[in-house]
Amino acid sequence: QFPTSSPLTEGGQMYDKWWKAAVVDEPQGDMPLWANADMNAAENEDEVPEGADTWRCSTCHGWSYQGEFGFAGVWDAQNKSADEIMAALTGQTNPDHDFSQFLDADRLNALVTFIQQGLVDKSQYINDDGSVNGDASHGEQMFAAVCTRCHGTDGTEINFHEGTDEPPEYVGTVASEEIWEFFNKASFGQPGEAMPAGLNMGWTWDDIADLAAYAQTLPTSK
């Protein structure tokens, strides 16, 4: 039986949206360092984040882990010691980058684990046009075995934008329009939700690429 959680996947969810993953209050206002953002250096972002979204690790450091909006990525940090990464997370490196005011030691250590062990060069799977190098037929089997129970056979059972003014968003929508983000969620799970993490089920990165390739064939509207 595979674990339902692990420090690695918890850290991956924290990187996504830490206040949902840690079940703590949503941060208010813009992250202090957001004032330094370069709006002309956002390769994978279509919208300009504001408020709580500027506190997401993924916003500044990117779903590719190479950095967005002119900020450094976390890719090179995987070679740093746990103490060095923790210093960066707790404001010892820069007082405006102090997450210890929100997160306890276990949550911060999960982030350290993710940065040291959970980063993968997704460009080997994701092409410049957003398509995925994967076996969609194998991905279909994986989707049927694990994902359909909540997302339905065509991925439209859950509208991720339910209750908002935004257009409906389904599995196929995210896979087609936000494939870098999709890869992270399929690997590590969805913050604050019971969605299983692929890595906790023993899936490999190749497996997740297969799932992503199939997900891109699913409808983007209902």
CA atoms within 13 A on the CB side of 147: 29
pLDDT of residue 45: 56
Euclidean distance between CA atoms 169 and 26, whole angstroms = 22
The dihedral through the CA atoms of 178, 151, 191, 125 has a sign that is negative
pLDDT of residue 93: 97
pLDDT of residue 39: 85
- The values of phi and psi at residue 98, to 5°, are -110, 105
Cβ partners under 8 Å of residue 165, min gap 6: none
Single-letter amino acid code for the residue at 210: D
CATH 3.30.420.10 fits 123-215, yes or no: no
CA atoms within 13 A on the CB side of 133: 9
Q: Encode pLDDT of 33-69 as tens digits.
A: 999 999 887 765 567 899 999 999 999 999 999 999 9
pLDDT of residue 166: 92
pLDDT of residue 109: 98
Cβ partners under 8 Å of residue 136, min gap 6: 210, 213, 214, 216, 217
Tokens of 209: 């690429």
Give the start-to-end residue ranges of the domains of the chain. Answer: 7-119, 123-215
pLDDT of residue 2: 57
> For the chain, which residues score pLDDT lower than 70?
1-3, 43-46
Q: Which helix (H) or strand (E) holds 113?
A: helix 105-117
Q: Is 158 helix (H, G, I), strand (E, B) or coil?
A: coil
pLDDT of residue 1: 52
CA atoms within 13 A on the CB side of 170: 20
